[in-house]
Amino acid sequence: MKNFYIRKVGKYINVPVIVTDLLPKQFGALTCVFFVLIRPKFRDDEGLIQHELTHVKQNLRTFFYSALRQYWDKQHRLNRESEAYAVQLKHSPDFVWGEGRNIDFYKDLYIDFMYNKYNLGMTKKKITANYNQWIKHLK
């Protein structure tokens, strides 16, 4: 099994993806500036991969400032995660825009992740409202 592969961001940017279990236990994947670490059991999870590639794009479009700012600005971190989870929602299994087949299940799951894993200190209501704005933005 291959423990390293490349994914493209845009036409020209190659992003290294490293398959490893050396991650904090609460995460299935994470982005380190411009490369992605992903657990072996999620190596083919396109939604999760797109989530992490969204973080790479955020870092690149802000010349890496966004990656730093998330550590002291919780609203910025919520915006980063809301955008990435909105992209992940678009790639979730059985999801079809407009039909809402699994939209509520995945929305609730991703809102719970943001509420429980990212130390945002915000209410679920605020997280949900922010996330819903990013979902609308993607349509």
* Chain centroid to CA 56: 10
Q: Which two tokens stand for residue 4?
A: 């390293």
Q: How far apart are CA 88 and CA 20, in angstroms?
A: 20
| pLDDT over threshold 80, residue 63 | yes
Q: For position 116, what pLDDT does the model report?
A: 95
* Chain centroid to CA 102: 18
pTM above 0.75, yes or no: yes
Residue 71's pLDDT band, with cuts at 50, 70 and 90, is very high
Q: How far apart are CA 51 and CA 88, in angstroms?
A: 5
